[in-house]
């Protein structure tokens, strides 16, 4: 029998109405053997996610502030769902107790405290959802990441999977029980809870899928598919029904936030098909992400995205020794703990493109001063508020004329190109533009590359 790992995001589990949809999805397909859940998300646009309530709770405990209202708020989120599904008070008691007793455990330090508090958003939701499934007649059991075998590195709030985990996870396949696993966290070798980076339930799903060698990893969220451009910028963009891992990776980099970046790694390693689907419209085809290239795609471009808040440090020095120059720059960036995205070089000049949220005014001043001392440049200046615009598509390989189409579309919108980078990736073009032009640029590129057929 085919086997699927299914993951439901926070909006899919925000309230009883949503949870009902999830129950039906799990019931509808008995290949769905492993269910990974997020913490309950927002019920309306200015609602607070349970994870954020838990972070607030942890910070109050650390600061020794009153906590009664926040524990009440957290408990009621689970209680509302439990009540709707006729979960008894007795059954619910351990969940309530777990929330209240979080401050009573001992933690190595505040980082571990924070990790454990946060992880309980998913943990208790999985406990509750396993009860609900059972109540609804599904043979289901909670599976803790500890028992599942999800071992992670010793970084309490930014852990990574330890590859040995997969063999252990692989032993959970031989059963007719639906296992409900909380996303977002694992255990280090000392048995302490460590979470992945924020949004890490996608990662848990991918890890489980790889571990049990699933045939498919279904990632349920609140969109019908991944679109060729952001629907809040382009009206009715076309859905991408099939894309490759590399396309997904390049698009997520530039702001497609549908699927967590790090979650792609286990999927790629295990060559597991990832399908993004909508909890609210499970009959929609969604977007399938695989290693295989599309045959004869209708368009050479798959998607267009942009990401704001980059800055560029322009450095010019006559007859610079490029190797020594780059090495000095990389060394200084390392000293300051800064990462860079691109470093295009001209004959006698070089621009360091980086995310500007890494820099405070003070840090920026110090960085520039240090670069001046180390490089003695003829000219140096920093420009803020760039957006990086990405045009991505496997169909772009070996195609002539796409750069011309793209730059022509941008020129017609008077978008000044502060950077053009093509040639490293074979499936994308990257443009640096002023970020206040980003939406106009995306609209122009969309019209160019997705004309009505």
Residues tagged in the binding site annotation for ATP: 7-10, 221-222, 227
Question: Torsion-angle region of residue 4: left (phi > 0), alpha (psi -120 to 50) or beta?
Answer: beta
Q: Which is nearer to a copy of itself, 71 or 326 (CB)?
A: 326
Q: How far is the CB of 327 from a copy of itself (least distance, A)?
A: 5
Q: Nearest approach, Cβ of 221 to a copy of itself (angstroms)?
A: 22
Tokens of 55: 């972070």
Binding residue for a copy of itself, selected from 265, 368, 380, 440, defined by CB under 8 A: 265
Euclidean distance between CA atoms 251 and 257, whole angstroms:
8
For the bound state, the minimum distance from the C-beta of residue 156 to a copy of itself, rounded and expressed in Å, comes to: 21
Alpha carbon 422 to chain centroid distance?
25
Indicate whether 381 belongs to the interface with a copy of itself (CB under 8 A). Answer: no
Contacts of 438 (CB under 8 A, 6+ apart): 306, 308, 387, 389
Nearer to a copy of itself, 72 or 426 (CB): 426
Return d(Cα 132, Cα 121) in angstroms, integer.
16
Cα–Cα nearest to 334, from 370, 282, 297, 291: 370
Q: Is 419 in the site for a copy of itself (CB under 8 A)?
A: yes
- Work out which of 420, 434, 440, 443 binds a copy of itself, going by CB under 8 A: 420
How many positions of this chain bind a copy of itself (CB under 8 A)? 59
Binding status of residue 159 toward a copy of itself by CB under 8 A: no
For position 350 contacting a copy of itself by CB under 8 A, the verdict is yes
Structure tokens at 229: 């451009």
**Candidate ranges 57-65, 234-242, 263-271, 441-449; the one touching a copy of itself (CB under 8 A):** 263-271
Question: Looking at 42-50, 209-217, 277-285, 407-415, which segment touches a copy of itself (CB under 8 A)?
Answer: 407-415
> Least distance to a copy of itself from the beta carbon of 302, Å?
14
Range 185-212 burial, b when 16+ CB lie within 10 A, else e: bbbbeeebbbbbeebbbbbbbbbbbbbb
Question: Judged by CB under 8 A, which of 423, 451, 452, 453 binds a copy of itself?
Answer: 423
Buried b (16+ CB within 10 A) or exposed e, 258-288: bbbbbbbbbbbebebbbbbbbbbebeeebbb
Among 137, 360, 400, 452, binds a copy of itself (CB under 8 A): 400
Give the separation between CA 238 and CA 362, rounded to whole angstroms: 44
CA separation for the pair 35, 182 (Å, rounded): 8
At closest approach, how far in Å is the CB of 305 from a copy of itself? 11
CA dihedral 271, 277, 279, 285 (to 10 degrees): -130
- 16-28 vs 110-135: helix crossing angle, rounded to 10: 60
Find the binder of a copy of itself among 346, 365, 369, 436 (CB under 8 A): 346
Task: Using the minimum distance from each CB to a copy of itself, give the nearer residue, 147 or 447.
Answer: 447
Rounded Cα distance between 449 and 253, Å, is: 20
Q: How far apart are CA 375 and CA 174, in angstroms?
A: 62
Q: Which x/- pattern, by CB under 8 A, does the window 82-121 give for a copy of itself?
A: ----------------------------------------
Q: Which residues are annotated as a binding site for substrate?
A: 51, 122
Q: Which stretch binds a copy of itself (CB under 8 A): 65-73, 129-137, 196-204, 427-435?
A: 427-435
Minimum distance from residue 95 beta carbon to a copy of itself (Å): 36
437 lies in the site for a copy of itself, by CB under 8 A: no
Run of H or E including 50: helix 50-62
**Binding of residue 432 to a copy of itself (CB under 8 A):** yes
Q: What are phi and psi of 151, to 5 degrees?
A: -95, 135
Residues that bind a copy of itself (CB under 8 A): 246, 249-250, 253, 261-262, 264-265, 268, 312, 314, 318-319, 322-323, 326-327, 330, 333-334, 339-351, 398, 400-401, 403-404, 407-408, 410-411, 414-426, 428-430, 432
């Amino acid at each position: 029998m085919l086997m699927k790992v299914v993951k439901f995001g926070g909006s899919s589990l925000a309230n009883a109405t949503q949870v009902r949809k999830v129950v039906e999805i799990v019931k509808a397909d008995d290949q769905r053997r492993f269910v990974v859940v997020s913490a309950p998300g927002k019920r309306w646009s200015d609602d607070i996610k349970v994870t954020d309530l838990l972070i607030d709770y942890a910070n109050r405990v650390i600061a020794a502030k009153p906590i009664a209202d926040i524990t009440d708020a957290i408990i009621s989120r689970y209680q509302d769902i439990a009540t709707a599904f006729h979960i008894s008070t007795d059954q619910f008691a351990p969940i309530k107790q777990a929330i209240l007793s979080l401050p009573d455990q001992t933690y190595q330090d505040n980082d571990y405290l924070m990790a454990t508090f946060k992880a309980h958003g998913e943990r208790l939701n999985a406990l509750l959802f396993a009860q609900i499934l059972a109540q609804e007649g599904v043979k289901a059991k909670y599976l803790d990441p500890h028992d599942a075998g999800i071992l992670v590195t010793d970084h309490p709030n930014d852990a990574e999977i330890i590859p040995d985990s997969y063999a252990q996870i692989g032993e959970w396949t031989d059963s007719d029980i639906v296992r409900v696993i909380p996303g977002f966290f694992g255990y280090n070798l000392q048995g302490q809870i460590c979470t992945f980076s924020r949004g890490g339930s996608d990662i848990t799903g991918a890890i489980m899928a790889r571990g049990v060698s699933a045939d498919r990893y279904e990632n349920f969220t609140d969109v019908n598919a991944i679109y060729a451009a952001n629907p809040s910028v382009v009206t009715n963009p076309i859905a991408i029904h099939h894309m490759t891992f590399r396309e997904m990776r390049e698009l997520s980099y530039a702001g497609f936030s549908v699927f967590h970046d790090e979650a792609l790694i286990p999927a790629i390693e295990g060559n597991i098909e990832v399908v993004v689907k909508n909890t609210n419209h499970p009959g929609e085809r969604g977007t399938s992400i695989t290693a295989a290239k599309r045959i004869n795609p209708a368009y050479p471009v798959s998607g267009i995205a942009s990401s704001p808040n980059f800055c560029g440090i322009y450095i010019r020095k006559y007859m610079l020794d490029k190797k020594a120059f780059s090495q000095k720059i990389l060394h200084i960036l390392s000293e300051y703990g800064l990462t860079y995205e691109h470093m295009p070089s001209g004959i006698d000049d070089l621009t360091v493109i980086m995310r500007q949220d890494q820099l405070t005014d003070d840090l920026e001043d110090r960085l520039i001063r240090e670069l001046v001392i180390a490089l003695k440049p003829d000219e140096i200046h920093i420009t803020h508020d760039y957006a990086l615009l990405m045009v991505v598509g496997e169909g772009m390989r070996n195609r002539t004329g796409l750069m011309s189409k793209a730059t022509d579309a941008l020129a017609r919108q008077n978008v000044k190109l502060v950077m053009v980078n093509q040639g490293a990736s074979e499936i994308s073009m990257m443009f640096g533009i002023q970020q206040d032009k980003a939406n106009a640029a995306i609209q122009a590129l969309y019209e160019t590359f997705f004309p009505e057929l």
